[in-house]
């Protein structure tokens, strides 16, 4: 059994983006500009690191650019915006090729609920991506989000699940090229200690995954055409090769 070591994320500098970068395979390195919503979050920081390591220019959406710059450095272009306010997003898409949403609700009531952030916030990002003609929207949801259509008990237990599910449906119906990444329980384990199991809706089982590994998958989706118009449910699996998922990606069928 591979030990899953914890590590601290408190001293990130995006200027050190290559520290955990996996070997680059498949598509050539990109020089596109990617807008990341949730770039300062616990998972979003890894998405940014892997994007930078792949040669992307990153524009980080935040409500406090000065604080983000002071904490994480200036390798990212920090821009002010609020996903709950669609008008604040319009100018931020100029010059961007793709948008990645790593949004997560922080409240059950108030201004940052799952409905306000994970559904309506994503709807605003998707609508603006469509209006701006972006090449792709990449969105994080959760391992069981697809089950909200058929499992009312799950929705009753995890009320935020329905809003992730609604966001998935909205993105698939938007006619914007997309990738949906649904990770299992997010953990602060070191990256690349285990392989990654890509599951279909009929295979969903309980599992966890390193936030850093999720970041790697989402960044790969921004550079690999094999990820387009697919929904991935992913967990770590110690029985799989660390980088085997890169080949698996191309074998997954597009969404029906």
In angstroms, the CA 129 to CA 156 distance is 32
In angstroms, the CA 53 to CA 75 distance is 11
**Three-state secondary structure along 75-96?**
CCEEEECCCCCHHHCHHHHCCC
In angstroms, the CA 246 to CA 256 distance is 22
In angstroms, the CA 100 to CA 6 distance is 26
Q: Which domains does the chain have, with CATH numbers?
A: 24-251 (3.40.50.720)
Per-residue pLDDT of the chain (256 residues; tens, 9 = 90+): 344 556 544 445 555 444 444 444 444 456 899 999 999 999 999 999 999 999 999 999 999 999 999 999 999 999 999 999 999 999 999 999 999 999 999 888 889 999 999 999 999 999 999 999 999 999 999 998 887 777 777 666 667 789 999 999 999 999 999 999 999 999 999 999 999 999 877 777 889 999 999 999 999 999 999 999 999 999 999 999 999 999 999 999 999 8
Q: Model-level pTM?
A: 0.90
Whole-number pLDDT of residue 157: 66
Pairing of strands 178-183, 230-237: parallel
Pairing of strands 57-62, 77-80: parallel
| CB 68, CB 81: distance < 8 Å | no
CA distances from 214 to 55, 116, 135, 223 (A): 18, 23, 21, 15
Whole-number pLDDT of residue 29: 55
User: What DSSP string runs through the chain?
Assistant: -----B---TT--GGGTTTTPPPP-SSPP---EEEEETTTSTTHHHHHHHHHHTT-EEEEEES-HHHHHHHH-SSSEEEE--TT-GGGTGGGGTT-SEEEE------SSSSS-HIIIIIIIHHHHHHHHHHHT-SEEEEE--TTGGGGGT-HHHHHHSTTHHHHHHHHHHHHTTTS-EEEEEESEEE-BPTTSSEEEEE-GGG----EEEHHHHHHHHHHHTT-GGGTTEEEEEEEETTS-TTTHHHHHHHSPPP-
Contacts of 42 (CB under 8 A, 6+ apart): 9, 186, 188, 211
Tokens standing for 225?
């055409």
In angstroms, the CA 34 to CA 135 distance is 10
CA diameter of the chain: 50
């Amino acid at each position: 059994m591979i030990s899953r070591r914890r590590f601290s994320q408190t001293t990130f500098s995006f200027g050190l983006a290559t520290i955990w970068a996996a070997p680059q395979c498949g598509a050539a390195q990109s020089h596109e500009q990617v807008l990341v919503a949730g770039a300062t979050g616990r998972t979003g920081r890894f998405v940014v690191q892997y994007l930078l390591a792949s040669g992307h220019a990153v524009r980080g959406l935040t409500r406090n650019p000065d604080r983000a710059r002071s904490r994480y450095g200036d390798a990212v272009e920090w821009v002010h915006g609020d996903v709950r306010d669609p008008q604040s997003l319009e100018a931020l898409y100029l010059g961007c090729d793709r948008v990645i949403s790593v949004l997560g609700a922080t409240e059950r009531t108030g201004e940052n609920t799952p409905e306000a952030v994970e559904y309506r916030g994503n709807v605003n990002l998707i609508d603006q991506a469509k209006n701006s003609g972006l090449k792709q929207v990449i969105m994080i949801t959760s391992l069981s989000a697809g089950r909200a259509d058929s499992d009312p008990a799950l929705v009753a237990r995890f009320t935020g699940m329905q809003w992730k599910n609604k966001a998935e449906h909205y993105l698939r119906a938007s006619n914007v090229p997309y990738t949906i990444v649904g990770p299992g329980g997010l953990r602060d384990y070191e990256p690349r200690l285990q392989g990654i199991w890509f599951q279909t809706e009929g295979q969903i089982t309980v599992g966890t995954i390193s936030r850093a590994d999720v970041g790697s998958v989402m960044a790969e989706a921004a550079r690999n055409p094999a990820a387009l118009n697919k929904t991935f449910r992913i967990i770590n699996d110690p029985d799989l090769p660390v980088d085997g998922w890169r080949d698996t990606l191309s074998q997954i069928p597009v969404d029906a």
